[in-house]
Structure 1
């Protein structure tokens, strides 16, 4: 199997590279944004035609949620147009496309877990652009997987865990939002899930379409922060207890509205691919290896 990875220096892309390096039976080409600009259809066509992948994994995305409210054109170019070009090239060359999407396609107002068939209603530019990307892929490439995930963290790139650890160096007390709920998701677990799906789809015995993948247990950001600091202290990364005060979203206003409920049901991916939710608590026990 040959896999083309876009956005290979991001959170998930870096984990994909690390894991595929341990799988000699898979030939892969991993390209950063500097090496492949997915918003350039000529570049995309040339790379896909030259490498002839069986599977394309798009790990490239514009993820600066607040900045997106002003940076609309670039956000849509990366999150809608890039996936459309990749999907068209995949279809033309007989490849399967795996694409990472987000909980932000939902309003966040539902009670309970969001499943793949729930109505979408993004509340900001980032979510709207990611939904536009989903729709473009579905139109251009029948053989696709859209993998929605949430609250991604890992060794690479910027994320909530790294922000908390950075703040802990200079602060003894933090206020963290406690009225937004979701499932933290370790980037390495997303990479593993994508590889499992790619293998299964490549032999032709699984279903295409939309899947949800995130972590359990579901928590709010405040509890996530508490767990991060507990693990960091036990691993000697910080030398004191950080006090975490629970605050409301109103007390921490942001340019883009965050979903109150980002809890995704992972039942479908478990049933069809045998992939279990991300065990983010275990992932936090390895912070000292970052």
Structure 2
């Protein structure tokens, strides 16, 4: 197993996943969390190649179209709606020429609004004061095994607040920005606050949407997460996102809930 990253670059647009991306539902496919971070990394590289500055990412939505197998992936990025203060970017991740994720990112202009800033929840207890939790006792996969997870209290059914970090780089030999590295850990939210044990029930997410009112900094992703199951097979994972300075935004995941297959 590669010791240092979730992905290795193949060329400018293609990446090879390492075993550290192994999924929690199926270790033979990629966990979506690092793939989401990789897509943001590709978007940021696309934006950096353009002359001058521009608006900053404020929302990104990922639609998961198929199984992201542990195979080389290509990421294509294009501008859908150009603009100096409001812009829409689309990225598509393909495996074997088949789209598996489609993402759309809204970028908004930056202005000095410090005098009117407010309304966010309270900051979380810092991670250095907390004890790691062995998530591998609940979930398999190389991705979960790569994480340092520090809950503020023991996770409950459908409720958890925890800090997540990793020692691994997102892409070997490339410097990922703080936002891509942060988002690469956000999809962990659904797993830390499971309402049911994954051997009894399945509840994978089919999307992930992130709204930011401030860009995160540092190596820790804070997740204050609540999971709700409805009565007809749908669920929602809702998370207040934090860095060590305080809240940065919100994330939501739509879940498909069903009984787990019984061993044959």
TM-score, structure 1 length as denominator? 0.29
Relative to its length, the structure with more helix (as a share) is 1
Tell me which structure has the larger Cα radius of gyration. 1
